[in-house]
């Protein structure tokens, strides 16, 4: 069989997938770009060309800068915590102890729980008057009075991050655990004989095996954290005083609540650009780590 026929056939086999992707993602993306230069409304007027007005308006608004920093903070802290907790849990699960298999099985539960259910669950736990967290902390005498966890700007974002971490660190743990199990026993044994301390063993013997898979998890989680919508929508809707409003929520408000499709589109594209830059930066990093690890 000739190479050209192979390639043609491959393209033909890819075709259905590509057609769907172009129709449902490619075209809307192009149309979003067009919309972002108009003052179109969501329903009704098609809108007129307004140049870069939407972009300048959005980029200079205090809402945008504030929301960007909220989102970044959420992403950085939650992803970092998920990575650390995930690796620690994986190291633990890599030890031998009774019930290990069961515990490993349990790890899948938070990850399988739908995001919206997770958000609902934590919203109930954080309830200021009848929530389990307040009850537990007072009964343990850790706090004197019930608190408004989701009602204070100081704790609301942290409360969201905890809820997000709880759902996602097990995934990191499972990925890291699979990688740990690929570390050959004799290597760790050799390091032990060489007198390497636990930290050095982790840093120089184990970490290289973890680096690749962890980087992938890191990239995926960061992108997701940057796009965050569901958990915030259910738990706080961006409150109190907009202290938990993420970029996605801001776009939703602009485009759908206020029905300004044009400026909503420009904002959405700014977010897209940010995520793309992040992803490309990460991808470069992944390639470098992969190169140095092997």
Partner 1 sequence: MERKNPVFTAFVYVCALLLAAVILAPLAWLFVMSISPAADLAAKPLRWWPQAAEFSRYAQLLSTAENSAGAAFTSSLRNSLEVAGMATLAAIILAVPAGWAVSRTPSVGWSLSMVIATYMLPPVALSVPLYMGLSWLGLLNNVFGLALIYLTILAPFTTWLMKSGFDSIPREIEAAAMIDGAGLLQTWRIITLPLAAPVVATSALFAVLLAWDEFFYALLFTSDQRARTLTVAIADLAGGRVSDYGLIATAGVLAALPPVLIGLVMQRALISGLTSGGVKG
Partner 2 sequence: MLKSIGKTLLGAVFFGGLFVPHAFAETTLNALFMAQAAYSEADVRSMTEAFTKANPDVKVNLEFVPYEGLHDKTVLAQGSGGGYDVVLFDVIWPAEYATNKVLVDVSSKITDDMKKGVLPGAWTTVQYDGKYYGMPWILDTKYLFYNKEILEKAGIKAPPKTWEELGQQAKIIKDKGLLKTPIAWSWSQAEAAVCDYTTLVSAYGGEFLKDGKPDFQNGGGLSALKYMVDSYKSGLTNPNSKEFLEEDVRKVFENGDAAFALNWTYMYNMANDPKDSKIAGKVGVVPAPGVAGTSEVSAVNGSMGLGITAVSKHPDEAWKYIEFMTSQATQNQYAKLSLPIWASSYDDPAVTKGQEELIAAAKLGLAAMYPRPTTPKYQQLSTALQQAIQESLLGQTTPEDALKTAAENSGL
* Binding-residue pattern over the window 75 to 114 for partner 1, x denoting contact by CB under 8 A: --------------x--x--xxx-xx--x-xxxxxxxxxx
Residues 108-167 that bind partner 1 (CB under 8 A): 108-117, 119-125, 127, 129-130, 132, 135, 138-139, 166
Q: How far is the CB of 124 from partner 2 (least distance, A)?
A: 12
Can you give the length of the chain in residues? Answer: 294
Bridge partners of residue 38, in order along the sequence: 49
Q: How far is the CB of 237 from partner 2 (least distance, A)?
A: 7
Q: What does 281 interact with, of partner 1, partner 2, none (CB < 5 to 8 A by kind)?
A: none
Q: How far is the CB of 57 from partner 2 (least distance, A)?
A: 12
Going through 93-150 in order, the beta strands assigned E by DSSP cover none
On whether the CB atoms of residues 262 and 54 are closer than 8 A, the answer is yes
Q: What does 92 interact with, of partner 1, partner 2, none (CB < 5 to 8 A by kind)?
A: partner 1
Bridge partners of residue 287, in order along the sequence: none
d(CA 39, CA 260): 7
Residues 230-269 that bind partner 1 (CB under 8 A): 230, 233-234, 247-248, 251-252, 255-256, 261, 264-265, 268-269
Q: Which residues bind partner 2 (CB under 8 A)?
A: 41-44, 128-130, 145-146, 148, 150-153, 236-242, 253, 256-259
* Of 247, 253, 237, nearest in space to 268 by CA: 247
d(CA 78, CA 160): 9
Q: How far is the CB of 39 from partner 1 (least distance, A)?
A: 13
Asked whether position 223 contacts partner 1 by CB under 8 A, the answer is: yes
d(CA 133, CA 18): 48
d(CA 196, CA 206): 12
Among 157, 160, 161, 174, binds partner 1 (CB under 8 A): 174
d(CA 184, CA 97): 20
* Binding-residue pattern over the window 196 to 215 for partner 1, x denoting contact by CB under 8 A: ----------------xx--
User: Residue 258: helix, strand or coil by DSSP?
Assistant: coil
């Amino acid at each position: 069989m000739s190479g050209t026929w192979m390639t043609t056939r491959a393209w033909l086999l890819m075709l259905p997938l590509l057609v769907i992707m172009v129709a449902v993602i490619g075209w809307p993306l192009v149309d979003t770009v067009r919309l972002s230069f108009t003052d179109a409304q969501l329903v009704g007027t098609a809108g007129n060309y307004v140049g870069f007005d939407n972009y300048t308006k959005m980029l200079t608004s205090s809402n945008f800068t504030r929301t960007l920093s909220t989102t970044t903070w959420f992403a950085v802290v939650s992803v970092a915590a998920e990575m650390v907790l995930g690796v620690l849990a994986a190291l633990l699960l890599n030890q031998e102890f009774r019930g290990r298999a069961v515990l490993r099985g349990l790890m899948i539960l938070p990850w399988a729980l739908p995001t919206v259910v997770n958000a609902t669950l934590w919203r109930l736990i954080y309830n200021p008057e009848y929530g389990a967290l307040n009850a537990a902390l007072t009964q343990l005498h850790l706090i004197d009075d019930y608190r408004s966890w989701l009602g204070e700007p100081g704790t609301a974002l942290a409360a969201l991050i905890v809820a997000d971490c709880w759902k996602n660190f097990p995934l990191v743990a499972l990925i890291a655990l699979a990688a740990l199990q690929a570390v050959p026993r004799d290597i760790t044994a050799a390091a032990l004989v060489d007198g390497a301390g636990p930290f050095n063993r982790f840093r120089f013997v184990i970490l290289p095996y973890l680096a690749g898979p962890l980087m992938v998890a890191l990239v995926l989680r960061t992108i997701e954290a940057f796009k965050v919508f569901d958990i915030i929508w259910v738990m706080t809707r961006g409150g109190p005083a907009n202290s938990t409003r993420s970029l996605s929520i801001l776009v939703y408000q602009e485009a759908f609540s206020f029905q300004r499709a044009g400026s909503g589109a420009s904002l959405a594209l700014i977010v897209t650009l940010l995520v793309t830059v992040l992803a490309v930066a990460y991808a470069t990093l992944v390639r470098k780590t992969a190169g140095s690890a092997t």
